[in-house]
Amino acid sequence: QVTRLWGGRFAGGPSDALARLSLSTHFDWRLARHDLAGSRAHARVLHSAGLLTDDELQAMLDGLDRLETDVVAGDFTPVIADEDVHTALERGFIERVGPELGGRLRAGRSRNDQIATMVRAYLREQARAIAGELLDLVAALEHQARANIDVAMPGRTHLQHAQPVLLAHHLLAHAWPLLRDVERLRDWDRRADVSAYGSGALAGSSLGLDPEAVAAELGFSASAENSIDATAARDVVAEFGFVAAMIGVDLSRLSEEIILWSTKEFGFVTLDDAFATGSSIMPQKKNPDVAELARGKSGRLIGDLAGLLSSLKALPLAYNRDLQEDKEPVFDAVDTLLLLLPAFTGMVATLRFHGERMAELAPQGFSLATDIAEWLVRKRVPFREAHELAGACVRACEQRGIDLPDLSDSELAEISPHLTPEVREVLTVAGSLDSRSAKGGTAPARVVEQADRVASATAEH
């Protein structure tokens, strides 16, 4: 059977154990369409270089088309003896066009430049799909922000009540990192936009093939400047792995909040039945599994990145078979995100927020103390002193078991003559929110503008 690409200098075939170890078709078969596109482009440059007649080129392209039809239909699949996707496709090609013509296609290329190019082509395609999913999630957050535009909540630092904020402001705070992830994917694409074809095994080709023509046909803006770098570098794969891990981490942070918010103690949110799960023993349970799986899968995505970087560390130039280990982690990252994101977006889009509960908690924990201090600053009290006085108000309230607006005129005056009864004007959640009205603040008018900017950033991508 025509299959192995390297039999000539070997007296015998590989051991079964080696063949099993070496096999990659169970994961690299997903690159088959990209490898076929590469073969078409390669056939054309062989023709341009005078190495194929017009008829031979036409017969090759027809053969590749037939092979692609069979691959897509599942009528051609790899067998155990095919070491990898390239080997399998060469076998399929020779089966269709015969050994004479089929044996001409591999001239001037190596699996090393093929795989380096294909992995880029594949990841660029997947990056666009992931970006599309991220933008759907950003849109869901933006819609939830608008639908709940008048809901105040306790803003937290150290998970302690800090200052009141709008729920919409908080939700949009999760949208911006996701938009930056989309930007990261686009920015990454500029570096991935280079074809390695023409690099051969490591040194380039002697056959007069035009790497730029292949690059253009495969949708790359350029071919590689250095054939060694092109075949040996995988920073572009690792960088993709980083962006995927960052997306996972961003999702995990929102996940953690949704998990907390859906507890009885918080009572901020109810998950839609379609995005929650039950317990096999406790009939009352409604569990936030989507958020928990997202939180868990962020660990998996970080692991994929860590594995990639570990495989690359200290690898000498140029190609080493270790580089085959780049594929499973990065494919896992792609699959994980494309599985997770639609469910995650569905969960976010269907969250029901309990505005009254959130608003009730917003002023608790003396979260308006900063408003007292800033009111004093506007009355020309130095901030250090204002901070002390507002702190004294909190202490007085704590002693008496009351809240800041409950301090009497005389209690206020006792703390400081600066604390006139007018200070109560800032001691409401609405007043506090309205006052934070510079760009980026939580004032409702600013948050509406912010939602508009999120929408236009989403539309731009």
> Do 256 and 248 meet the contact criterion of CB atoms below 8 Å apart?
no
Distance CA 227, CA 232 (A): 9
> Which of 323/376 has CB closer to ligand ARG?
323
Label residue 5 exposed, middle or buried (CB < 10 Å: 0-12, 13-18, 19+).
Answer: middle
Query: Which one from 15, 26, 158, 280 is the annotated catalytic residue?
Result: 158
Nearest distance, CB of residue 288 and ligand ARG, angstroms: 39
Q: Which residue out of 221, 279, 310, 408 is catalytically annotated?
A: 279
CA dist 282 → 287, 289, 420 (Å): 11, 15, 55
Task: Work out whether strand 160-166 and strand 194-195 pair parallel, antiparallel, or are unpaired.
Answer: unpaired
Minimum distance of ligand ARG from residue 86's CB (angstroms) = 6
**Which of 24, 144 has the CB closer to ligand ARG?**
24
Nearer to ligand ARG, 108 or 444 (CB): 108
Query: Residue 325 Cβ, how far from ligand ARG at the closest point, in Å?
Result: 8
Active-site residue flag, 311: no
In DSSP terms, 160 is beta-bridged to 157
Give the nearer residue to ligand ARG in terms of CB position, either 109 or 424.
109
What six digits make up the tokens of 459? 């539309």
Alpha helix positions (H), 218-318: 227-232, 235-261, 289-312
Q: Which one, 14 or 177, has the nearer CB to ligand ARG?
A: 14
- In whole angstroms, what is the distance from residue 446 CA to residue 169 CA? 9
What are the structure tokens assigned to 114, written together? Answer: 């093929």
The nearest distance, CB 22 to ligand ARG, in angstroms, is 8
For 117, the token pair is 């190019």
Tell me if residue 158 is catalytic: yes
Cα→Cα distances 289→8, 133, 255, 396, Å: 55, 20, 10, 44
- Contact partners, residue 42, CB within 8 Å, separation at least 6: 105, 108, 109, 197, 209, 214
Q: How many CB atoms lie within 10 A of CB 176?
A: 16
Closest distance of CB 116 from ligand ARG, Å: 8
Applying CB under 6 A, which residues contact ligand ARG?
A: 24, 28, 84, 111-112, 115, 319, 321, 323-324, 327
Handedness of CA 19, 24, 26, 30 (dihedral sign): negative
Min separation Cβ 229 and ligand ARG, Å: 15
Residue 111 vs 446, nearer CB to ligand ARG: 111
Active site members = 158, 279
